[in-house]
Amino acid sequence: MRVLIFLLFLNLAKLSSAQNMEKNYLGALILSNNSTTSFSIHFNEENGVVNGYTLTNIDTPDETKSDLSGIYFKEDKSFQLQETQIISTSSEADLSTFCFIQANLSFKGKFRNKRLEGNFLGLFTNNDTCAKGKVLLMEQKKLEKKIKKVKKRIKKLEEKRTVVLQTKQLKDGDDFVVKWKADDLKLFIWDANEEDGDRIQLKINEKIILYDYSTKRKRKKIKYKLQKGENIIEIKALSLGNSPPNTSRIELVDSKTKYPVVTQLTLEKSAIITIMK
């Protein structure tokens, strides 16, 4: 009885070990016309004999699972593999139109970046050639990790990305209303063209921030703590400079949004920007 129990556990251990030895590689078939097809191989290798399956057109209406067999050459760490029959498919195409892959693959790269690469030939069941090209595969776990890293980078870039809206032009008496997210206002102001002596007054919530200020080509930065509700920015022309009208370029910066504004004002006239917090 004890011997039977021992043999049972031994067989289970062997089965578990075989399952853990399965190798999974994911990538693509790159055809001679540079089109690509998603492709993966899943196999066990024992004493140079390879058995497993492939998946093509992964997660599409044509996903197909095929039986895989072949030989592993330990000397140069290469494989000769071929699909032998279809196990299952989601495709509605006639089975005679299916293309079976024969591939010679070898490991490329160093250490953890090893890839399986090589050439493949596709054959119909009557041995006519249906496709040829290259195979590029990476160990599935490593590839998935790389994909996660790339997605994280993309997400971070998207989080940092600032949206620049269309420039708003304001003339005498115009009022531009902006809904705001951040607690602070960042405002940049500079001369829209050449420095020509334009002078302005800038008020926020009736507080004079800039008085008799000559706009320059260099941007002037202003940071202001907004109050809850309505915040009024008034830009007033104190001179017309050498090239009327009085023209200033303003950029309002919210957390992820930039609002470009150009004011064109006559003497002693104002434009209003209302920030709704």
Indicate whether 234 belongs to any domain. yes
Determine the Cα–Cα distance for residues 19 and 2; give it in Å rounded to an integer. Answer: 26
Arithmetic mean of pLDDT, 36-49: 93
Average pLDDT of the segment spanning 254-259: 90
CATH number at residue 73: 2.40.128
> What percent of the chain has a predicted confidence (pLDDT) above 70?
90
Task: Output DSSP code: residue 113.
Answer: G
Q: Which residue has the higher pLDDT, 167 or 155?
A: 167
Structure tokens at 74: 């330990």
Nearest Cα neighbor of 239 from 217, 269, 259 is 269
Q: Would you call 139 helix, strand, or coil by DSSP?
A: strand
What is the value of pTM for the model shown?
Answer: 0.52
* Token pair listed for 192: 């829209």
Quote the DSSP letter at residue 181.
-
- Is residue 78 packed enough to be buried (19+ CB in 10 Å), middle (13-18) or exposed (0-12)? middle
- If asked whether residues 66 and 121 sit together in one domain, one would say yes
pLDDT in tens, 200-230: 999 999 999 999 999 998 999 999 999 999 9
Range of the domain at 31: 21-141
Within-domain flag for 251:
yes
Give the rounded percent of residues in the chain with a pLDDT score beyond 90.
66
Residue 275 pLDDT greater than 80, yes or no: yes
Give the tens place of pLDDT for each residue, 65-94. Answer: 999 999 999 888 899 999 999 999 999 888
CA 122 to CA 112: how far, in whole Å?
A: 30
pLDDT exceeds 70 at position 253: yes
Nearest to 31 by CA among 95, 104, 120: 120
Instruction: Place 9 in a pLDDT band, splitting at 50, 70 and 90.
Output: very low
Domain membership of residue 155 (yes or no) is no
Question: Does residue 119 or residue 149 have the better pLDDT?
Answer: 119
Q: Rounded distance, CA 203 to CA 205, Å?
A: 6
* Domains identified in the chain, total number: 2
Question: Binning pLDDT at 50, 70 and 90, where does residue 109 land?
Answer: confident
Return the CATH number at 191.
Answer: 2.60.120
Is residue 151 within a helix (H) or strand (E), and if so which, with residue range?
helix 140-160
* pLDDT (mean) for 48-63: 94
Residue-wise burial string across 179-190, b where 16 or more C-beta atoms lie within 10 A, e elsewhere:
ebeeeebebebb
What is the structure's pLDDT at 113? Answer: 59
